[in-house]
Structure 1
């Protein structure tokens, strides 16, 4: 099971990331440098498999949130460098959560509970309709309003199942 954390800020630089010398995949990997405005900077390695919420194109100056798995080994360098599993570009009145959601559709950190209705699109990362149950899975959840309860509850705009 993946254990997701996130880091948000402004993209201040985008460069090609070289996995090895004379890399045949040159140009397929990117390094996004993100600054949170409070002195913290993170480098995200963006791979061809990194999921971009709403399939947006990110450029320097955009506000983003990168989600990464804290169980994956990282190099001991500064700034920290994480493999981005999901990238979300900040959108007005839209939030993104990436987490494992249990049998009651509560996130692994206990902060968000999903109330799914018949109109909630549940999709695969490739955009196709998901036909299984979203419980006990890693999900990308796009939502707007939440309750002020603990956990906060929301009816998602969209759910993407990470198979």
Structure 2
């Protein structure tokens, strides 16, 4: 760290570019929080907002990218784990590659036993945690208000399943 409290390498100040996208306003709101935390470590951050997050993330032209994702839209761990972390996955924006992980995903796709699928998914998550190609920063809290007409409805912790077949209105 330099005398100015900022980190540098080969005489060049360390400055990172942090992207977010307005379609998830909470990510844009979170940018100053991340910038302040990194400033305490002597790392300068420039924040940018992109209207086309998929294109920007796919380009690789960023240092840090805040991304909101639903990790279990169908209750099956294979969806998220394969879409974001397999070597050639469409949304593997981090560029992470791990042959052992890819083999686990092949096994997960072929496995039909629910407990064996859970075990494979846990092993895959251990590899992700060990190499940390991404950092999970937060999980939002859910706040649900129900009228007396929906008194028998139990909310699920998933934005994909707020309205379900068992949602009925009392008369």
Query: Which has more radius of gyration?
Result: 2
Give the alignment's TM-score, normalised by structure 2: 0.23
Give the alignment's TM-score, normalised by structure 1: 0.24
Larger fraction in strand: 1
Larger fraction in helix: 2
Flag the structure with more relative contact order, 1 or 2, with Cα contacts below 8 A and sequence separation at least 6: 1
